[in-house]
Structure 1
Amino acid sequence: MKDIHVSDTVTRIKLRNKEVVLIGTAHVSSESADEVERVIREEKPDHVCIEIDEGRFAAMKKKQSWESMNIGQVMKQGKAFLLLVNLVLTSFQRRMGMDLGIAPGEEMKRAVSVCEEEDISFSFADREIQTTLRRAWAKSGFWGKNKLVAALLSSAFTNEKLSEEEIERLKEKSALEDMMQELAGYLPSVKEVLIDERDRFLATKIFQAPGERNVAVIGAGHGPGIIRILHELDEENGNTDLSDISSVPPRGRISRVLPWLVPAVILVIVGLGFVSSGWQNALSMLWMWVLVNGTLSALGAIIALAHPLTIILSFVAAPITSLNPTIGVGIVAGLIEGVLRKPRVKDFETLHDDILSIRGFYRNRFTHALLVFFLSSVGSAVGTFIGIPYLTSLIGG
């Protein structure tokens, strides 16, 4: 039996042993939230699948228990960059919602509320955003990673207001989905992770959900892909194994070797300088390495408006950490900044609003430490990029 398009946003999908009513929502539309409630109440399904992961829903519902976060632990566990990206995504969604007059994800909260009220079982069907971001990062090359960071930051901190045409376009899909689509167009190498894999993940979770008459609440942009994959899964040999896209792929050989290769190259260059011209030239090369790498890392800390002591220690630590694959200068600088300007209770209380602007990111001590981590790391990376060829030119000098 063919699928029935009940409306522009609702499709009734007939499978062999299941019927799925797919609601394609716009995550920033009050009409979508009302439609989700109406369809669930009318259909009275056995089960409802909701396109969000449990962690994001908890953060959205509770505005995140930031008070329990320790900036030192975040740095030590290597989660600073991932947390910064999550805050950037949250900032993007919240600003889109403010322009459109509705909190992002309102239809997801409405779906859960109706299910609880009507005693209908439900599940969160999306892949964890951390896994998606980590997979996108792992599949990006060196320049791709830089483009990904630049795209995320520009999306988060732009002050441009939406035009009427853009507002109408956003009402056709989610704010996050719009950002994912833009990133996929900007970085074709990660389109598979940001779009295709999530279509497959969502479709499989919907297909595996209990019940014979189900409702699925998804972003409108996922509709065509999910419908196609649902029918593929309904075939006798449909593959429901998601293990290949449910975890972060192991680092490739180059990625594992590169952190050790950089210090090895630097030491070899300095060694060649010693062999060709003696100790004086070798020491001169080491000093230039310290000067270039330390200065640019300190410059990153200055741009982040770090504490003066953090700036000094960034200069000292960068040349050393760049030769140590196990720790980066950003972790050192971020930890020092977190100690010197320890986040206060009010920083956690205002974090939800502070992430809406660049000024807020700088003003809030929690996000400020993350900026110090990020910009000092960028400075050191640029210093390494410039320093290696410069040192090479000094051999025999």
Structure 2
Amino acid sequence: MSINDENITRIYLDDKELILIGTAHVSKKSAEQVKEVIEHEQPESVCVELDQQRYQSIKDGNKWQETDIFNVIKQKKATLLLMNMIISSFQKRLAKQMGIKPGQEMIQGIESAEESGATLVLADRNIQITFARIWNNLGAWGKAKLLMQIVFSIFSNESISEAELEKLKSKDMLDAMLQDLTKHFPRLKKPLIDERDQYLAQKIKEAPGQKIVAVLGAAHVPGIKEQIHKDHDLDKLTTRPPKSKVPKLIGWAIPLLIISIIAYTFMSNPAAGTQQTISWVLWNGSFSAAGTAVALGHPLAVLTAFIAAPITSLNPLIAAGWFAGVVQAYFRRPSVKDFETLSEDAASLKGFWDNKVTRILLVIVLANVGSSLGTAIGGADVLRVFFENL
């Protein structure tokens, strides 16, 4: 193996030799190279770009069959699970095209560390902390734009050749990617790239032994080369951003305002108050029911969304989608087959609507989206009637 391989970076720091392998996450060549480097170098430690949660997911394998869909709804994790499946299915679709398991280079790093007797170091920051810090750095428009871009790119039918993936390892392509990322989401680069470079660099530096191999996504190598010579506070980098009280205040202020306006209108003009109430119920119920229907929900789930939305919109602690989702799960309970084919079905729009698991998640999400739209329009109509009767 050539010491000057363009995907391998050697850094000598005090008495340590650090060997960074820049990989593409769905590249067959990357996985093969990881195996070759570890076998050749025989390091004391192997660092992989994984946190405990993702490592456990790899070790556990496919455990969808054990998923309790009612617990997912109860724990308010439907949207998170849906997004995780979308992103996971995108990576699996690329990996299937390349004839390789997703994240095979990380799996190979784990296996090679075990075979060589090296200490395995999970060097990446907890993914939930990274997501929390990313979300905190985006405004409302940035959040919407990011979600739309993720969904559109995931369901795109455009294929990527392995040759193009390998090009992503070159310094020029990397610089172009980071510039593009900064251009579209300037606030996202810090928590997603810069902070993780610092975290990874510190964990690699602290790995036991004098020779350490680190298996990393190519995008992190330049940053780690820069940050490895500095000391970084891991506690500071893993602090979750404080939650803003503004959304919670708004979440309670709007319902209280709506209730107060309708109550006041009833006292001064009962007919107008009745009109406001009917408008609120129809707008909220209809939009939430429409969202459930778009998700091809059970007729009783559609009816549940219609009944629940006008009430749940007045309480930030509950949501119409949860009720609709429970009804959908009760009448269209997923089978073992639905869980077994979940990853494959989630790779296409048709599969999302055909699989009973993802359909439940879609019912929850779209019922809530419809309820939010109904709240905005219904609330505006309540205000209209109020001002007309002053």
- TM-score, structure 1 as length reference: 0.89
Q: 1:172 & 1:340 partners in 2: Cα distance?
A: 52
Q: Paired residue for 2:241?
A: 249
* C-alpha contact (below 8 Å) 1:28/1:170 kept by paired residues: no
Give runs of aligned pairs for residues 317-336 of structure 1, distance below 5 A. 317-336=308-327
2:346 matches 1:355:
yes
Q: What RMSD, in angstroms, separates the aligned Cα atoms of the two structures?
A: 2.5
Q: Deviations 1:293-312 (Å, cap 9, x if unpaired)?
A: 11111111011000000001
Q: Rate the CA distance shift 1:352–1:165 in 2: closer, same or farther, 3 A.
A: same
Contact 1:307-1:340 at 8 Å conserved across structures: yes
Rounded Cα–Cα distance in structure 1 between residues aligned with 2:373 and 2:213:
50
Q: Could you say if the C-alpha distance between residues 203 and 152 of structure 1 is closer, same or farther in structure 2, counting changes exceeding 3 Å?
A: same
The letter for the 1-side match of 2:8 is V
Q: Which residue of 1 aligns with 2:361?
A: 370
Question: Which residue number corresponds to residue 280 of structure 1?
Answer: 271
Residue in structure 2 matched with residue 28 of structure 1 by the alignment: 26
Shift of 1:166: 4.7
Separation (CA, whole Å) in 1 of partners of 2:178 and 2:339 = 28
Q: Distance in 1 between matches of 2:280 and 2:182?
A: 37
| Mapped contact 2:22–2:169 kept (Cα < 8 A) | no
Give the whole-Å Cα distance in 1 for the aligned partners of 2:30 and 2:219: 14
**CA distance in 1: counterparts of 2:336 and 2:229, whole angstroms:** 51
Confirm or deny: 8 A CA contact 2:169 2:219 kept in the other structure: no
Q: Tell whether the 8 Å contact from 1:28 to 1:104 is kept in structure 2 after alignment.
A: yes
| Deviation (angstroms), 1:186 | 3.5
How far is 1:172 from its partner? Answer: 5.8
In structure 2, distance between residues paired with 1:137 and 1:358 = 26
Q: Deviations over 1:295-344 (max 9, x none)?
A: 11111101100000000110111111110111111222222211111111
| Partner residue in 2 for 1:109 | 107
- The answer to whether the Cα contact below 8 Å between 1:58 and 1:64 also exists between their aligned partners in 2 is no
Residues 123 and 204 in structure 2, CA contact (< 8 A), matched pair in contact too:
yes
User: What aligned pairs does 1:174-323 form with structure 2 within 5 A after superposition?
Assistant: 185-233=183-231, 239=232, 241-274=233-266, 277-323=268-314
CA apart distance, 1:384: 1.8
Judged with a 3 Å threshold, the aligned counterparts in structure 2 of structure 1 residues 166 and 133 are, in CA distance, closer, same or farther, namely: same
Task: Indicate how the Cα distance of structure 1 residues 106 and 70 shifts in structure 2: closer, same or farther if over 3 A, else same.
Answer: same
SS of the residue 2:121 aligns to? strand
Structure 1 residue 18 displacement after superposition: 2.3
Specify the code of the residue in structure 2 equivalent to 1:34.
E
Q: In 2 relative to 1, CA 332–122 (structure 1 residues): closer, same or farther, beyond 3 Å?
A: same
How big is each residue's C-alpha offset from its partner over 1:332-363, in whole Å with a ceiling of 9 and x where there is no partner?
A: 22222111111111111111211111111111
Q: Which runs of 5+ in 1 are unaligned?
A: 234-238
Selected match of 2:336 from 341, 345, 350: 345
- Residues 25/140 of structure 1: CA separation in 2 closer, same or farther (3 Å cut): same
Tell me if structure 1 keeps the 8 A contact 2:293–2:302. yes
Equivalent position SS for 2:213: strand
Counterpart position of 1:8: 6
> Which letter maps to 1:384?
T
C-alpha contact (below 8 Å) 1:26/1:172 kept by paired residues: no
Q: 1:169/1:310 Cα in 2 relative to 1: closer, same or farther (>3 Å)?
A: farther
Which residue in the other structure is 1:151 paired with? 149
In the aligned structure 2, how far is the partner of 1:166 from the partner of 1:283? 63
**Contact 2:24/2:165 (CA < 8 Å) preserved in 1?**
no
Paired residues of 1:151 and 1:183 also in contact (CA < 8 A): no
**SS at 2:187's partner residue?**
helix
Is the 1:204–1:230 contact (alpha carbons within 8 Å) kept by the matching residues of 2? yes
Given that 2:7 and 2:169 are in contact with CA atoms closer than 8 Å, whether structure 1 keeps it comes out as no
Q: Which runs of 5+ in 2 are unaligned?
A: none
Alignment-mate amino acid for residue 95 of structure 2: G
Deviations 1:145-168 (A, max 9, x none): 322322222222222333687555
How far did residue 33 of structure 1 move? 1.2
Structure 1, residues 94-114: CA drift from partner, whole Å, max 9, x if none? 112223332221111111111
